[in-house]
Amino acid sequence: MSKPSSSQMLSYETTPCAYNPGADGDISTWLKGHAGQAGKEAWLLAFADDGVTWGRVDSARGLTTSRPLDASRLQTLHLFGEDGELRLWRDGTAFQGVFIHDLPEPADRYFDQGYILWGDHVENPGSDFSLVADGAQGLQHAVPLDLHNINLDNRPLRLFIRNHLAEDPQGQAYVCCSRLLRLQLKKGGEK
């Protein structure tokens, strides 16, 4: 796949960033300092050696997570919202990253796509996080949504991705960058 040419107008821009546990301190504190870049409301999705951690950032309460974040076990992390995504990945003992920021123009250079998340029933609803499970194996994760009185039979949990487009030298459009956008409960999931 070819890279977009420098003269091509893109609907996003990237800014490199890094997190160094020894110099930057606790990762939760570091993330709170960067959360505003993703938007008024931001979500966190982290993958570690010992499982998945969901989180949410809001102006009233700051960062809340389904379990403590531990940088020593962390592999990748996504802090995302309507304005952009902060993406970190392990690079030895430190983390490299990028902030993908949406530009206001041109709006026709991207499309959003929803993906179904695991969860066919709520095991433990909560006001901050709800434990959902899926299938006979009981795969679980704690999503940062209040799922009291929500029916998951039709799998209404969605993770939305924004796909940014560019054109190759022949004028054919292709997805040049994808980022996480939002977590959402599809309408019609209420009991």
Per-residue pLDDT tens over the stretch 151-180: 998 899 999 999 999 999 999 999 999 999
Residue 80: partners with Cβ closer than 8 Å, 6 or more residues away: 38, 42, 43, 44, 45, 86, 179, 180, 181, 182
What integer best gives the mean pLDDT of the chain? 88
Residue 128 belongs to some domain of the structure: yes
Q: Is the pLDDT of residue 149 over 80?
A: yes
Residue 143 belongs to some domain of the structure: yes
Task: State residue 136's pLDDT score.
Answer: 78
Return the DSSP state at 186.
P
C-alpha span between 57 and 65 (Å, rounded):
9
pTM of this prediction? 0.88
Q: Domain tally for the chain?
A: 1
Q: How would DSSP label each residue in 91-113?
A: ETTEEEEEEEEE-SS-GGGEEEE
pLDDT tens for each residue of 1-57: 455 544 467 889 999 999 998 889 899 889 988 888 888 889 999 999 999 999 998
Residue 157 belongs to some domain of the structure: yes
Q: Higher model confidence: residue 47 or residue 186?
A: 47
Task: State residue 8's pLDDT score.
Answer: 63
3-state helix, strand, coil in the chain (%, to 5): 10, 50, 40
Residue 141 belongs to some domain of the structure: yes
Residue of 19, 79, 20, 22 whose CA lies nearest to 46? 79
Q: Higher model confidence: residue 129 or residue 94?
A: 129
Residue 41 belongs to some domain of the structure: yes
Residue 4 belongs to some domain of the structure: no
The separation between CA 185 and the C-alpha centre of its own chain, rounded to angstroms, equals 15
> What are 152's two structure tokens?
């998951």
Task: State residue 87's pLDDT score.
Answer: 97
Amino acid (one-letter) located at 87: R
Task: State residue 1's pLDDT score.
Answer: 46
Q: What range does the domain containing 23 cover?
A: 10-191
Q: Is the pLDDT of residue 190 over 50?
A: no
Task: State residue 188's pLDDT score.
Answer: 58
Residue 1 belongs to some domain of the structure: no
> What are 11's two structure tokens?
């609907």
C-alpha span between 180 and 161 (Å, rounded):
5
Residue 38 belongs to some domain of the structure: yes
The mean pLDDT of 70-80, rounded to a whole number, is 95
Task: State residue 184's pLDDT score.
Answer: 92
Residues facing 121 on adjacent strands: 133
